[in-house]
A and B are shown apart, each in its own frame.
Chain A
Amino acid sequence: MDHPKNNNNRSHTPIGSLREYVPAGISHKDEGDSAIQAIEPWQRVQIARHPERPHALDYIARLCEDFVEMHGDRIFGDDAAIVGGLARFDGQTVMILGEQKGRNTKENILRNFGMPQPEGYRKAERLMHHAARFGFPIITFIDTPGASPGVQSEERGIGQAIAQNILVMLEIAVPFIVTVIGEGGSGGALAIGVGDRILMLENSTYSVASPEAAAAILWRDASQASSAAAAMHITAPDLLEYGVIDEIIREPDGGAHSDPTVTLDAVREAIARHLADLQTTFAVDTPEGARRLLEARREKFRRMGRFVE
């Protein structure tokens, strides 16, 4: 076993213990609250990675009642970098899945810095099938620098695990809402990100590769990460313009961590609204409605891309 065995969710430091930490270069002044703040992509990366930023378990605790965490992929192990389970959201039973980071070194070792291994994705796959069997909507929270690179990851087929999840998300006919709450890093993010609606917090990022990885691939120099962050257009406004996401959820001035309650409630409102909209638009409790929902999801991704002809 190359990952921590103690992976119940008790060791999760609550928000507030690191409130004073502010990354360099972020000004809280001179920012209007009527429009999306105009700040450098690299600064957004810093905010998205802020240790005090609300993480998946913070959202689950604030947004849901009666959360029961479910563990393990039934094949190899349990991965603390992905948490999931049944809960009640907005009066109905849902399946919640999220990539979980830690707030300090000890937690980050337990959570592998939010970088899931194959067993994490296979747990997610199991829980998605579980949700589909009972007709429960799925709500996911993306927050990962990427899937875990390493010998064991490759031995157990990290690529295949991600590929399988992408396929499953295009085969199950229950409402599926994705929210990018921090870092959306590459295939490791997409592996729980193929939903009917994709929401993004204002200062979160979503990219084809982490800025460091992209810099290493493009220029063989990971220290050029800030240039890569700018070149790849990874911010929420970029992705909304590209039609890849459906809505940007505003953060308080100073970032999500500066007023977590406001952030969490804004996310709750957005998810509840989109979920209700999907359920009425598609009448998902009928087989035909569920089928139309799935077809619309496939069509949504089928249309993505820019080319000429």
Chain B
Amino acid sequence: MKDIFRRPRYFSIGQDKEHEKEEHKDTRNATAPQDRADRDASDAIWTKCPKCGELLYNRQLENNLKVCQKCGHHFRLSSQERIAFLVDGGKVDDGVVDTGTFEEQGKAVMPVDAIGFESLGQKYASKLVDTQRKTDLNDALIYGTATIEDVPVTLAVVDFRFFGGSMGSVFGEKLARAAELAIERGTGIVTVSASGGARMQEGIFSLMQMAKSTAVMAQLSEAHLPHISVLVDPCTGGVTASYATSADIVMAEPGALIGFAGPRVIEQTIKQKLPADFQTSEFLLKHGMLDMVTPRRELRTTIARLLRLYRGDQSPAAVTQKETSASSVQ
């Protein structure tokens, strides 16, 4: 309970680095690779909205949680940015990401080439190393502890930049550990998923992660702790057919692509054009598959309100009061 009073500090996700001091801010993960790829000097200041074409001043875009001020398009986020926008003390300032109260766990769990996978002469093992170097991530999922509006929570976030956020053995193991950590701490778990589905390169092990993650979620459920699942753009395949849609609360950001089979596969199968809103968050809400569509700006408050409802707390003030009196008893 004491960690809610802890000062926010800067935190890096690098596999080879420990916590850094505030003056050594880590800027390497400040931008998503799709932005980085066609970057030139002016891109350091401006970003063009891929949906409406509006030129957006980067500082303002950050202040608006990377949502286009003109059309409301929600930009994809790195896992660090996602955490920064969600947890207490988190912020993104001129590309510098501060993940606030978040403390990463399970960093040592690393992927291996489980089935000796080779595609068109390229070995999975070497592609893993390349991707780790490019993204500064060990694998697609990171998890840890944090507070949201002072409510302690366990948080697991998928980074789409790492093999399309696909679920392999490391993803499944870390998600399982996250749920076990939530049980141990007696907190709810929040998962934020952007994923292309199971990771083909790890074969059947990837498919089994769907059952593995669900097995631990079933234990969480028995402990009467909630799982809040946030689906963000894009989320398809095995992730939408396992933990992410069997959660207690399933919510999505506006305009996200969410579905089991990808739209390309369906179009090829039925040989018809798909409806314009097909597999969007709003489509899923209309068909009864989501509890709510929540704009990024309201995610924190909505999640915190839900967590307090599960805890039986009445308001942020009541929570603080309760914890203050609890620590004074100690």
Contact = CB atoms under 8 A, between A and B. Distances in A.
A208 interface: yes
B208 A244 contact: yes
B31 to A, nearest CB: 27
Contacts of B209: 304-305
A305 B173 contact: yes
A28 interface: no
A207 B198 CA distance: 11
Contact of A150 (B198, B202, B266): B266
B251 to A, nearest CB: 14
Given A187-B207, A233-B204, A305-B172, A162 B114 contact: no
A305 B205 contact: yes
A158 B211 contact: no
Interface string A265-309: 000000000000000000000000000000001110110111111
Interface in A128-172: 147, 149-151, 153-160, 162-164, 166-167, 169-171
B204 A242 contact: yes
Most buried by B among A187, A214, A301, A305: A305
A225 interface: no
A26 interface: no
Interface stretch (A5-13, A91-99, A216-224, A256-264): A216-224
A298 B212 CA distance: 8
Given A160-B246, A302-B216, A194 B204 contact: no
B3 to A, nearest CB: 25
B215 interface: yes
A239 B242 CA distance: 21
A59 interface: no
B288 A157 contact: yes
B265 A163 contact: no
B200 A166 contact: no
Given A159-B259, A208-B203, A219-B119, A190 B211 contact: yes
B208 A301 contact: yes
Contacts of B203: 207-208, 232-234, 238
Nearest to A302: B215
A186 interface: yes
B261 A158 contact: yes
A87 interface: no
Contact of B204 (A207, A218, A231): A207
Given A194-B211, A232-B200, A304-B208, A298 B219 contact: yes
A180 to B, nearest CB: 11
B12 interface: no
A176 interface: no
Contacts of B217: 167
Interface in B155-212: 168-170, 172-173, 176, 196, 198-200, 202-212
Contacts of B206: 208
17 contacts: A151-B275, A154-B260, A157-B287, A158-B241, A159-B260, A166-B211, A166-B242, A190-B210, A207-B203, A207-B204, A232-B203, A242-B204, A305-B173, A305-B209, A306-B202, A307-B170, A309-B109
Interface of B: 108-112, 114-120, 168-170, 172-173, 176, 196, 198-200, 202-212, 214-219, 237-238, 240-246, 259-261, 265-266, 269-270, 274-275, 278-279, 283-284, 287-289
Interface of A: 147, 149-151, 153-160, 162-164, 166-167, 169-171, 186-187, 190-191, 194, 206-209, 213-214, 216-219, 231-234, 238-239, 242, 244, 297-299, 301-302, 304-309
Given A232-B203, A305-B114, 9 more contacts: A150-B269, A160-B246, A170-B218, A233-B204, A297-B215, A299-B215, A304-B209, A305-B209, A307-B111
